[in-house]
Amino acid sequence: MRDFSDAPMLVIWELTQACDLACRHCRASARPGRDEAELSTQEAYAMLERVVEFGNNPLLVLTGGDPLKRPDLFNIIQRSVALGLRTTVTPSATPLLTHAAVARFQDCGVSRMAVSLDGATKAAHDGFRGVDGSFARTLAALRSAAQVGLETQINTTVTQHNMDSLAEMAAIVGREKARLWSVFFLVITGRASASDDLTAEEYEHVFDFLYRTSLTAPFDIKTTEAPHYRRYHAQQRKRAGAPAAPAVPGVSAIQRHAGINDGKGLVFVSHTGEIFPSGFLELSAGNVRTTNLAAAYRQSESFRVIRDANRLEGKCGACDYRHLCGGSRSRAFALTGRPMAADPRCIYEPPLVLETAC
Ligand code: SF4
């Protein structure tokens, strides 16, 4: 297991909350107009320097809202790439995401573009995203990326509305030759509704589908806000008599086995510069306008506590997978108000808890 106390593997930066979509689950409760309190262009450049200070070349994810709503987006990308940062971008599928914009990502040195796919059909996806035409634009952007040689990733948020069409979406991920399928699980924040979430048993069914798909898929699979997929994955490999990690791990395999979690290998910076353990866990460790990003990540009380598996409560604290998994700290906070509580969407009962109960 990697020690993430010094530097994260992922820096996720919400450049803006402005977006022309109206997704029903939106973490950021995004809206069309930009917030006047967003980091300015000069503050954005300073932010990039702070990321470099981690010294380990973390992956920088430029997200939103829709990053294309910022007119200085390409300047920020160019500065980031010039500083040597591996830079990815997650635009929204709106009329701003033209073939020319995708080609410019490639020209500027973007490592990967991620787009969202939340339904296997136009009706399902556009209904979820709240804007007609989003499905077609998503596919067009993926094909533009393939034409210009830009690597792609597809993000899917699993809800009650699409969990029965995951196989059809996996087929699209393969057909469009995405490198990674990043599967998000709901945290009830922003516009997400509790009725959209899966039960703990349904999480397990989805894990089973993802695991079986991962055995033959031509793309990598990773989960977000479901670290217990790592527990499921380890259990299955153990049952199959396979080593816990593949001999030659890909990017998602590295993340899976490194034990990344909220605030542990991951730091999120909001559009106004607030430093959070994740975009779903708004426990601020300062603001990049006044606080050094690396110092906040390494030394702030909130980040130190959240990384400490010995501070986990309930069955997560007693779990034999707590270092590999640790449960979603964002979900624990959203559903219980305690960031170190057990993840309420995990079905696993650790042996120690069972022994204690007997
Ligand atoms: S009990 Fe907690 S640490 Fe253990 S597998 Fe479930 S979520 Fe992960």
Query: Does position 129 have pLDDT exceeding 80, yes or no?
Result: no
219 C-alpha vs ligand 1 centroid, how far in Å? Answer: 26
Domain ranges (residues) in the chain: 10-309
DSSP label of 31? B
322 lines ligand 1 (CB under 6 A): yes
Instruction: Report the atom number in ligand 1 closest to the C-alpha of 328.
Output: 7
Q: Which residue from 187, 204, 231, 324 has its CB within 8 A of the most atoms of ligand 1, so it is best to mutate?
A: 231
The closest-lying atom of ligand 1 relative to the alpha carbon of residue 348 is 6
- 3-class SS of residue 351: helix
pLDDT band at 126 (very low <50, low <70, confident <90, very high): confident
Question: Residue 184: which of 158, 202, 163, 213 has the closest Cα?
Answer: 158
Tell me how long the chain is. 358
Q: What is the mean pLDDT of residues 192-206?
A: 92
SS3 91: coil
Which two three-digit tokens encode residue 39? Answer: 């980091």
Residue 62 Cβ < 6 Å to ligand 1 = no
* Residue 85 phi, psi dihedral angles, 5° rounding: -80, 135
The three-state secondary structure class of 59 is strand
The count of other CB atoms within 10 Å of the CB of residue 243 is 9
Scanning the structure block, which residue is given the tokens 């153990």? 238
Q: Is 329 in the pocket of ligand 1 (CB under 6 A)?
A: no
**pLDDT reported for residue 354:** 52
DSSP label of 264:
B
Inter-residue contact 172 to 120 (CB < 8 Å): yes
Percent of the chain with pLDDT over 70: 91
User: Edge-to-edge strands of the sheet including 10-14?
Assistant: 220-224, 180-185, 152-158, 112-116, 86-89, 59-63, 10-14, 266-269, 275-276
pLDDT at 135: 95
Ligand 1 pocket, 264 CB below 6 A?
Answer: no
Q: Which CATH superfamily is domain 10-309 in?
A: Aldolase class I (3.20.20.70)
Which of 311, 346, 352 to mutate to test ligand 1, by most ligand atoms within 8 A of the CB atom? 346
Ligand 1 atom with the smallest distance to the CA of 231 is 5
**Cβ(166)–Cβ(158) under 8 Å?**
yes
The secondary structure of residue 320, as a DSSP letter, is T
Tokens found for residue 331: 């979900």
pLDDT at 130 over 90: no
Percent of the chain scoring above 90 in pLDDT: 80
Chain-centroid distance, C-alpha 117: 14
CA of 100 to the centre of ligand 1 (A): 44
Cα distances from 296 to residues 236, 266, 301, 338, in angstroms, run: 37, 12, 9, 21
pLDDT score, position 351: 87
Which ligand 1 atom is nearest residue 347's CA? 6
Res. 258 pLDDT band, cuts 50 70 90: low
CA distance 288 to 91: 23
Residue 1 confidence (pLDDT): 66
Task: Report the range of poorest mean pLDDT among 48-62, 159-173, 257-271.
Answer: 257-271
Strand-pair partners of 264: 261
Report which of residues 133 and 244 the model is more confident about: 133
Half-sphere exposure (CA, 13 Å, Cβ side) for 58? 28
Nearest ligand 1 atom to alpha carbon 326: 3
Q: Residues 133, 21: contact at Cβ < 8 Å?
A: no
Greater model confidence, 258 or 197: 197
Say how far apart CA 94 and CA 109 lie, in whole Å: 22
Average model confidence (pLDDT) across the chain: 91
How many CB atoms are closer than 10 A to CB 99? 14
Task: Confirm or reject: Cβ of 316 under 6 Å from ligand 1.
Answer: yes
Q: What integer is the mean pLDDT of 113-132? A: 89
Provide the residue type at 298 as one letter. R
Report the distance separating Cα 301 and Cα 275, nearest Å. 13
Mutate which of 256, 306, 325, 338 for ligand 1 pocket (most atoms within 8 A of beta carbon): 325
Return the ligand 1 atom nearest residue 320 CA.
Answer: 4
Burial of 116 (0-12, 13-18, 19+ CB in 10 A): buried
- Ligand 1 pocket, 327 CB below 6 A? yes
Bridge partners of residue 12, in order along the sequence: 61, 268
pLDDT confidence band for 237 (50 / 70 / 90): confident
For β-strands 275-276 and 266-269, DSSP reports them as antiparallel
Confidence grade of residue 35 (pLDDT, cut at 50, 70, 90) = confident
Per the CB < 8 A criterion, the answer to whether 321 and 312 are in contact is: no
> Over 80: is that where the pLDDT of 293 sits?
yes
Average pLDDT (295-306) is 96
What average pLDDT does this structure show over 202-226? 96
Nearest CA to ligand 1 atom 6: 346
Q: Check residue 15 and give its pLDDT.
A: 97
Q: CB of 324 closer than 6 A to ligand 1?
A: no
